Amino acid sequence: MHFPEILLKKRNGGRLSAAEIDYFVSGYVKGTIPDYQMSALLMAIWFVGLNDTETAELTFAMRDSGETIDLSGITGMKVDKHSTGGVADTTTLITAPIAAACGLKVAKMSGRGLGHTGGTIDKLESIPGFRTDISMHRFREIVDHSGMSIIGQTRELVPADKLLYALRGTTGTVDNISLISSSIMSKKLASGSETIVLDVKTGNGAFMKSVKDAERLARVMVAIGQKAGKKIAALVTDMNQPLGNAVGNALEVREAIEILQGNHEGDLQKVSIALSAQLLYLSGLAQDETAATKAAIEALESGRALEQLAAMIKAQRGEPDVCINPDLLPTADRLEPIVSECSGYVTDIATDEIGLAALLLGAGRVKKTDIIDPAVGIWLMKRVGDYVEKGEELAFFHVNSTDRLEEARLRFIKAFRLGKLQPTQHPMIYTTIS
């Protein structure tokens, strides 16, 4: 094959064959196709688009560009979930224990945070001693015996995605449904689970700003999963405000534990239960979604889900007693109250700005090499629809370094918009696609 012919074919609106797609994916991974040629093809794809068949073939080629995980030796139904990302989105640390407590085997590889979105691996590593860099043999062993394990993505898993994602970021080709779908689904398919539930975020704190675009992305990813023979569904959920009240690594782990302890409710709990219920329903452990939801709630309220989280933490060398006493998690040196400058109803929260304020405190990273402080972050006291008096606390900043505290405070204050009328609430779950 000749790469320029493939490039011209796509530029002129042609449909690429599976062989052509496999050729440029494998060639780019091997280094025989240079960045400048792949950049041109990505831009052609961005302008012309890929149809559903091409998108699936791109996903499969990326999946097969490196190792795939064999979970066949694990007894029971292997499941996975993925969120497209947001602020205070700690669903994995609640959904996975609930699913495991109901008899599913959760084998999950997660990433680190970058920009205003947090990463599950960073959150877990705020637990004293917790290891996410365990061997694949140990990963499978923990899933089989303890019911769940969450580790970092290996370098050998889908190398094509790592290369293409970096190139997309520098060529203005990130926001393309086919490229987003193939990036996410190639990793999910390579991870080996039989059942996958996707949490596709929409709103001002999500990558997909409109419900329509989020639904379109969800449908494409579900179609890819179905072509690969997976049991798959996607929930389109709201990210027009932080999902939970905690923004920051140890703080988010604390909130997840408090929910599993039965001491905290709210939007984060609601979405986590819905995701767990979908995993149970798709896996055949519940006859319908109502029964699945009932089983998920029972696993949470009985304390069995909390026990599952503690078992995973212990198996991965962490301190399981954090599930009894969250004060064992890292804590910041000081609390800084952030008060409202006027009275009124919270009508809107610029969610990404909240995430960026936490980043300024040291809770996130701008580039992958940045070091995060697990103890710092933000605990929200008010949410959309709440009434606030002038001088009342909107949040508490958990602070170690004050270098950028004022910048973070100003960004946070501007993110909260107040009005005289109580706003109409967005639904937490817009639709389920299966």
Least confident of 65-69, 109-113, 143-147: 109-113
**pLDDT value at 65 more than 60:** yes
CA torsion through residues 277, 281, 286, 290, sign: positive
183 annotated active-site: yes
Same domain, 317 and 401: no
**pLDDT value at 365 more than 90:** no
161 annotated active-site: yes
Segments forming the whole domain that contains residue 45: 3-49
Same domain, 155 and 19: no
Region 152-171: what's the mean pLDDT? Answer: 89
Assign 302 a pLDDT band (cuts: 50, 70, 90).
very high
Q: Which of 183, 191, 193, 276 is catalytic?
A: 183
Q: Which of 80, 89, 161, 267 is catalytic?
A: 161
pLDDT, tens digit, 9 for 90 and up, residues 187-237: 999 999 999 999 999 999 998 999 999 999 999 999 999 999 999 999 999
pLDDT, tens digit, 9 for 90 and up, residues 87-129: 999 999 999 999 999 999 999 988 776 555 668 999 999 999 9
Distance CA 330, CA 179 (A): 38
Q: Which of 123, 168, 254, 382 is catalytic?
A: 168
Same domain, 299 and 347: no
3-state secondary structure 237-301: EECCCCCCCEECHHHHHHHHHHHHCCCCCCHHHHHHHHHHHHHHHHCCCCCCHHHHHHHHHHHHH
82 annotated active-site: yes
Phi-psi region of 384 (alpha: psi -120 to 50; beta: other; left: phi over 0): beta
Assign 85 a pLDDT band (cuts: 50, 70, 90).
confident
Assign 150 a pLDDT band (cuts: 50, 70, 90).
very high
**pLDDT value at 270 more than 70:** yes
Last residue of a domain, one of 323, 355, 382: 323
110 annotated active-site: no
Distance CA 170, CA 390 (A): 44
* Domains: count for the chain: 3
9 annotated active-site: no
Write the DSSP assignment of 352-386 as a string of letters: HHHHHHHHHHTSS-SSTTPPP-TT-EEEES--TT-
Q: Which of 81, 187, 231, 254 is catalytic?
A: 187
In a domain? residue 96: yes
Query: Please, which residues bridge with residue 388 across strands?
Result: 344
**pLDDT at 364 (0 to 100):** 82
Same domain, 395 and 253: no
pLDDT, tens digit, 9 for 90 and up, residues 166-193: 899 889 998 899 999 999 999 999 999 9
Q: Which of 10, 63, 78, 82 is catalytic?
A: 82
